[in-house]
Amino acid sequence: MSRIAYVNGRYVPHADAAVHVEDRGYQFADGVYEVVLVYNGRMVDEIPHLDRLDRSLGELRIPSPMSRPALRSVMRELLRRNRIHTGLIYMQVTRGVARRDHPFPKNAQPSLVMTAKRIALPTGAAVENGVRVISIPDIRWERCDIKTVALLPNVLGKQQAKEAGAYEAWQVDRDGYVTEGTSTNAWIVTKDGELVTRNANQAILNGITRLTLLKLAERENLRLVERGFTIEEAKRAREAFISSATSFVTPVTQIDDAVIGNGKAGSVGLGLRRAYLDYAEGEGRT
């Protein structure tokens, strides 16, 4: 079965999906995006993702390409046409096509592109063994709270991780504090059992998975603190993990050359992963 994409009002074969060369997303990275997890046929946290899309658009003063009900029906139609049971929806909105010039164009129509793909959930040993992250300097701009398609530092960081045989790179700010991964939020469990993730401000993307995990952690009565932590504190932690719509909760068992805990996934991370998947199965469907 061939994949179908949505491009500005049309469902087209994925191979033919294209926007104009003067789309401002292509020219200036002048656009925003969202990635929504589809789990067992249902979208997880659909409304929070669409709220964040609206916020990102608002921050960049890009008009919405269509009403929310229309957007939700495109998402459903795309899943139907691609027969996705478990996978990801990617949507991108740019300021549209205009003659290349930096200021906002007067009459551009925002472009909306949507794709969907299947994913397989990692299980068993892949989860148990966890992943390695490396630490790198955070070289991004000061509005990391906006989910823009301007991802070059993230791309370079992820490539550096890959070349180092790691799964992710944790970005570290000038004061030595971890901001987040290149496409994930960062968490640790300290030696005395405190669950820590950085407070959300303009230095990080406030992950929708992060927000859901905060709720689940509270429900499970975990000792939770939103604060920065240094890479040294992380290396001494009992557990570490990353979160995103794509990786849910993925245990981290090595940071640079430091082994975390006993080198296997920790119980808090595994518990939250289970809780998140249960949530995705049930009440996370919106």
CA separation for the pair 208, 214 (Å, rounded): 10
Q: From 229, 224, 144, select the one nearest 178 (Cα to Cα).
A: 229
Cβ neighbours, 10 Å, residue 77: 14
Closest to 100 in 3D by CA, of 181, 190, 20: 20
Instruction: Give the nearer residue to ligand PLP in terms of CB position, either 81 or 156.
Output: 156
For the annotated catalytic residues, the residue numbers are: 147
Which residues fall within 8 angstroms of residue 199, CB to CB, at 6 or more apart? Answer: 226, 227, 228
Least Å distance between CB 37 and ligand PLP? 8
| Structure token digits, residue 248 | 């849910």
Measured between alpha carbons, how far is 160 from 169 in angstroms, rounded to an integer?
8
Q: Convert residues 170-209 into a mask of x (bound to ligand PLP by CB under 6 A) and - (unbound).
A: ----------x--xxx-------------------x-xxx
Per-residue interface string for the shown chain with ligand PLP, residues 207-226, x marking contact by CB under 6 A? xxxx----------------
Please report how close the Cβ of residue 202 comes to ligand PLP at its closest, in angstroms.
13
Total residues interacting with ligand PLP, rule: CB under 6 A:
14
Q: Least CB distance from residue 183 to ligand PLP, whole Å?
A: 4
Residues within window 229-268 making contact with ligand PLP, judged by CB under 6 A: 243-245
Residues that bind ligand PLP (CB under 6 A): 35, 154, 180, 183-185, 205, 207-210, 243-245
